[in-house]
């Protein structure tokens, strides 16, 4: 039976905040934040993860604010929970959606939310270190094969036949997108003794200097001159969606490591798969065109690449900061303020 956590259940005069589905790792961190809503809102959290739309809609029937994470809100579900479905307000009246992440545009139709007069909020920079560290975890698996070596040793195979490792020190890292995560990656890379170049638009020149990255104005030039290419662009419709094209990927030299812990949608559809299928680019990917991946997916059949299930952001520190921001967004909405507003109501 689903455990339901509630605060101030008797205060029916207060607006209701509902989290209808939650990742196990978020339960305790967000519980610790809910006291910030004392005398501001009631909270109801269903302590299981589900993406079943009927279950989510049912749990949100009386909600004023939705805390969402880990699943997509279809247009149909958005209509239902905001009172714009066939059953009108009887099915829902959510006025604010708070997303547990930055790239909310990948999970909710923002234009439709705007049409319905629903505020949408996200979280910012909560996972800069988490995702940056995961990018290096992928790099190290590609160059040192720690997972494979562990299996070999435990199986009694001491002699490594997979070839010697590579070192990062002295190699050049090309970063596409020098925001919070990209600049953190640059700083870590410098500490490892790497040369760092970066292509990024709309960031101050001082940021390049602060994290030790050389600005490169042409993405093709950056890619062609790098031993490792790491993508850290946010997904912004009309700006970064598909910004990395098949033509850009043609500039990857054989043997170049390609890392993506950002969003798959920043790459032209089909372009990365086609490039990797040539078999000469080791890649580490945490994001994909279709999630979750199926075992028969074409990208799973390519040798020499490492795949992880969109977990780069999932660390204890990231969860603490993420849940703090989520609750602050709720508090601001219900007290007349603003916090991380992506769509105004």
Instruction: List, as one string, the DSSP characters of 256-323.
Output: -EEEE-S-GGGB-TTHHHHHHTTS---EEES--SSSSPPTT-GGGG-TTEEE--S-TT-SHHHHHHHH
CA distance 20 to 67: 8
| Residue 291 annotated as catalytic | yes
CA distance 213 to 222: 12
| Residue 263 annotated as catalytic | yes
- Measure the CA dihedral 277/181/69/121, to 10°: -130
Nearest Cα neighbor of 288 from 310, 303, 320, 305 is 310
Please report where in the chains the tokens 């829902």 appear, as a residue.
92
Q: Are 328 and 314 in contact (CB under 8 A)?
A: no
Which residue is catalytic, options 263, 265, 321, 328? 263
256 Cβ contact partners less than 8 Å away, ≥ 6 residues apart: 223, 226, 227, 228, 229, 281, 282
154 three-class SS:
helix
CA distance 195 to 115: 47
Q: Are 47 and 25 in contact (CB under 8 A)?
A: no
Is the torsion defined by CA of 61, 66, 67, 72 positive or negative?
positive
- Measure the CA dihedral 197/201/202/206, to 10°: 10
| Residue 134 annotated as catalytic | no
Which residue is catalytic, options 6, 209, 291, 345? 291
115 three-class SS:
helix
Question: Which positions are catalytic?
Answer: 263, 291, 310
């Amino acid at each position: 039976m689903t455990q339901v956590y509630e605060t101030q259940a008797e205060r029916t005069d207060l607006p209701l905040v509902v989290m209808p589905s939650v990742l196990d790792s978020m339960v305790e961190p967000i519980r610790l934040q809910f006291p910030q809503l004392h005398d501001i809102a009631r909270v109801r959290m269903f302590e299981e993860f589900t993406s079943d739309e009927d279950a989510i809609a049912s749990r949100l029937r009386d909600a004023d604010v939705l805390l969402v994470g880990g699943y997509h809100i279809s247009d149909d579900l958005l209509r239902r929970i905001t009172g714009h479905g066939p059953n009108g307000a009887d099915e829902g009246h959510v006025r604010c959606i708070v997303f547990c992440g930055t790239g909310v545009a990948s999970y909710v139709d923002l234009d439709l939310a705007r049409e319905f007069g629903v505020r949408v909020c996200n979280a910012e920079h909560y996972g800069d270190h988490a995702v940056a560290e995961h990018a290096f975890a992928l790099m190290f698996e590609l160059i040192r094969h720690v997972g494979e070596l562990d299996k070999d040793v435990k199986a009694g195979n001491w002699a490594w036949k997979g070839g010697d490792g590579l070192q990062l020190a002295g190699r050049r890292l090309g970063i596409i997108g020098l925001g919070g995560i990209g600049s953190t990656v640059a700083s870590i890379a410098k500490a490892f003794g790497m040369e760092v170049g970066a292509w990024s638009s709309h960031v101050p020149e001082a940021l390049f200097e602060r994290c030790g990255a050389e600005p490169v104005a042409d993405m093709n030039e950056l890619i062609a001159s790098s031993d490792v290419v790491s993508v850290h662009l946010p997904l912004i419709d009309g700006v970064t969606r598909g910004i990395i094209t098949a033509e850009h990927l043609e500039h990857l030299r054989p043997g170049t490591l390609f890392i993506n812990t950002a969003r798959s949608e920043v790459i032209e559809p089909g372009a990365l798969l086609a490039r990797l299928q040539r078999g000469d680019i080791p890649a580490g990917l945490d994001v994909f065109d279709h999630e979750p991946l199926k075992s028969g997916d074409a990208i799973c059949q390519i040798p020499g690449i490492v795949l992880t299930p969109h977990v780069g952001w999932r660390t204890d520190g990231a969860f603490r900061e993420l849940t703090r921001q989520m609750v602050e967004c709720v508090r601001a909405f219900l007290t007349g303020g603003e916090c991380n507003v992506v769509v105004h109501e």
